Amino acid sequence: MEFVFLTDAHVRKSSNVRTDKDYLETICKKLEFAVQKANEWGAQLVMGGDFFDTPTVPDLVKSAVVRIMKKADKKPWTIYGNHCTTFNNVENNYKTSTYLLNEDETWRAFIPGEDFIYEDGSGQKCKVAFTRPMQNCGLPQLGIFHGFLNQEDGPNTFLFEDVPTEDPCVICLGHDHVQYEPVAYHNSVIYRIGALVRGIRNDSEIRTPQILRIKLKKDNTWITKLYDVPCIDSSLIFKEKKGKADKIQNDYQGIIDQIKAASAEDISLIQAVSMVSTEETVEYIREVLTETKNIRESK
């Protein structure tokens, strides 16, 4: 019994910080690699949330994803992350692109409460868990969650107290884009392999994205191995951010004023609204902007 895990692809049409000529094509090539490997190993592809960067994406993005996912020999599984859920509320899932592809049977999108026993062709079984806290069941378990480890972030949280005390488990977490060493706790190992996408200018993006191959052996013990995803070197993925200084002054106050001016020009509408309004208002405006952008990009 085998699985291939990836997380946080954040698929979208374009990126204003990346050097890619065609950003969508770049991320799709990574997904193609994951599907190819899953087929090669006879494995089930599993994704840890935030597959899309926004709750709804343009048709051209969905079409590209459908073409790739339907090449999988086994229908892929995914869960909802904060970026592909509206207001962090599963009751709004029917409004999202992730839900649409679930209805189209491109993949199966799971929510908490939909845990099940998975059995392969040889009769071997494991429990696949999406609900925290996980419960002992007398079987090996594969846990798939979108959340920080031991750091409260509403529904996007996974704690040590959510780990079963007896069953041997592989627990895969999305949400945190940074890659960490596996963490052993009770009879379980928690994996945070980092995001498939590298889309933010920070030190954590100086890495090669990876997928995790997971195998349940006949004696019901788990083995895992990480595989690099083919991609360009991290030093080449971001556009250079250049600033222009007009009439540079020789005093510190002049430099500070220029930094303030640059910061003011770089601030986004969402960042500005966040300073003066509630989270609900910010989320509403973000939704409107996303819908407007999607309509424009679909034309």
Q: What gap in Å lies between CA 63 and CA 47, rounded to an integer? A: 18
Q: Are the CB atoms for 148 and 7 separated by under 8 Å?
A: no
Q: What is the pTM of this model?
A: 0.81
pLDDT of residue 236: 82
pLDDT tens digit sequence for 79-137: 999 999 887 778 889 999 999 999 999 999 999 999 999 999 899 999 999 999 999 99
Q: Taking residues 158-186, report their average pLDDT.
A: 97
Kindly report the number of other CB atoms within 10 A of residue 284's CB atom: 14
pLDDT tens digit sequence for 25-43: 999 999 999 999 999 999 9
- Please give the structure tokens belonging to residue 295: 């309509």
Please, which residues bridge with residue 248 across strands? none
Q: What gap in Å lies between CA 96 and CA 242, rounded to an integer? A: 36
Nearest to 26 by CA among 174, 241, 198: 198
Q: Are the CB atoms for 270 and 289 separated by under 8 Å?
A: yes
Three-state SS for 92?
Answer: helix
Please report, rounded to a whole number, the percentage of residues in the chain having pLDDT higher than 70: 85
Cα angle 155, 171, 219 (rounded to 5 degrees) comes to 155
Please report, rounded to a whole number, the percentage of residues in the chain having pLDDT higher than 90: 68
